[in-house]
């Protein structure tokens, strides 16, 4: 690795993280995550493509690693299947120079055939990079949370 690239990486990783829900950059990052989730829910692949960096990778709740093309294909309009609405809570946004991380808890309730319902939750970590005046997602990881006992 050339010295200048190594120095740049060290410089960007040594930036003090900012828990920054009140900053304009943090608000912009939160809006990108909101647009990403809205596009997934609507199976709007064009809007989804606008939020994802060219090298985007996603780790699914079952541990699969999906690249950008696979994610976009999964959310193509002709692949739309009914699904439960997601509720977001416990959002934490931190900024590290040109990188941002948002962690949130997503929960959803599914109806069972017997008339009862089942609630589940995931912890999601989004990683974004500054792109021009905005942000692009480079990664998301979905971790299922165990059901409440």
pLDDT above 70 (res 58): yes
Distance from C-alpha of 100 to C-alpha of 25, rounded to nearest angstrom: 9
Whether residue 117 contacts residue 140, with contact meaning beta carbons closer than 8 Å, is answered with: no
Mean pLDDT of the chain: 84
pTM of the model: 0.79
Distance from C-alpha of 149 to C-alpha of 53, rounded to nearest angstrom: 39
Of the candidate CATH numbers 3.40.30.10, 2.40.40.20, 1.10.150.120, 3.10.450.50, the domain formed by 16-79+86-110+117-145 belongs to 3.10.450.50
Whether residue 78 contacts residue 88, with contact meaning beta carbons closer than 8 Å, is answered with: no
Task: Spell out the domain ranges in the chain.
Answer: 16-79+86-110+117-145
Supply 20's token pair: 């920054």
Nearest one of 3, 118, 131 to 55, comparing CA atoms: 131
């Amino acid at each position: 690795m050339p010295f200048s690239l190594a120095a740049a990486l060290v410089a960007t990783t040594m930036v003090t993280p900012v828990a920054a829900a009140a900053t304009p950059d943090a608000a912009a990052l939160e809006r990108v995550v909101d647009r990403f989730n809205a596009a997934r829910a609507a199976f709007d692949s064009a809007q989804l493509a606008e939020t994802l960096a060219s090298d985007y990778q996603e780790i699914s709740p079952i541990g699969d690693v999906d690249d950008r093309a696979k994610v976009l294909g999964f959310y193509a309009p002709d692949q739309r299947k009914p699904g439960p609405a997601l509720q977001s809570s416990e959002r934490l946004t931190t900024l590290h120079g040109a990188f941002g991380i948002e962690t949130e808890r997503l929960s959803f309730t599914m109806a069972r055939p017997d008339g009862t319902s089942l609630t589940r939750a995931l912890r999601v970590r989004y990683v974004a990079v500054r792109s021009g005046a905005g942000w692009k997602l480079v990664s998301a990881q979905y971790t299922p949370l165990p059901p409440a006992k």
